[in-house]
Amino acid sequence: MFCLKTKPFFELKYFSKRLLFSKSVIPLFWQTKIRLNKLQPLSYQACISRSFHSLYSPLVTNMSSVDNPLVWIDCEMTGLEAGKDVLMEVAAIITDGNLKPVSESFDAVIHLSDQQLASMNEWCIAQHGKSGLTEKCRTSTLSVQEVERQLLNYIKKYVSEKRVALIAGNSVHADVRFLAIEMPKVIEHLHYRIVDVSTIKELAKRWRPDIRPYEKKGDHRALSDIMESIHELEYFRSKWLH
């Protein structure tokens, strides 16, 4: 069955597989709008510009029933040396295999002591000070253990089965190193394979130099960086694979 949202036009979010395969109406991963009795695909930009709460439907409670779920994760850290430096902020968004968000976003800032913040290198002090993250870490009341618990519950809400969802992001292996130390339960729940947008970018540079690099703002805040990573992979897919 599908859900209709009463607005100037209706949003058709979910179709039964039987209808899709028997009638070949439209691919399952498309979100569509009905206007003047015509089916039109919504652009990814239109989807991402809407709030994640409007994209999320209570009907989707377990992503294990959707093909190839991706848990997009981005972290901000006090440096790049896992075990010495520590997590400052963690954000996540869950999409289906076709990069459509299916959940609200997750974003949490971890409390750090003045000593931990003072130990950052010059680049981190300047960048995180400029973005406001340093002060947010100073005033946050969330421990890394509490953020781990919240993030794991968030993921399990949509992907209850272990080793089903792949972790995705930009140079996400660096995030995984920190998460494995500070939030091991999160890493244990996810599949060992990853989707690294940086790999696609590097291969495109070598195999398709005619494709212009995707321009990113690089705010160095976890949630905005995740959204840019999703945009970037969608960009390369549209230029390279289609």
- Active-site amino acid positions: 192
Tokens of 204: 């495109």
Tokens of 70: 């991706």
Rounded to an integer, what distance in angstroms lies between the CA atom of residue 44 and that of residue 42?
7
Closest alpha carbon to 55 in 105, 1, 107: 105
- Of the candidates 48, 97, 73, 70, the residue with the CA atom closest to the CA atom of residue 159: 70
Separation CA 148–CA 128 (nearest Å): 22
- Cα–Cα dist 163/183, whole Å: 16
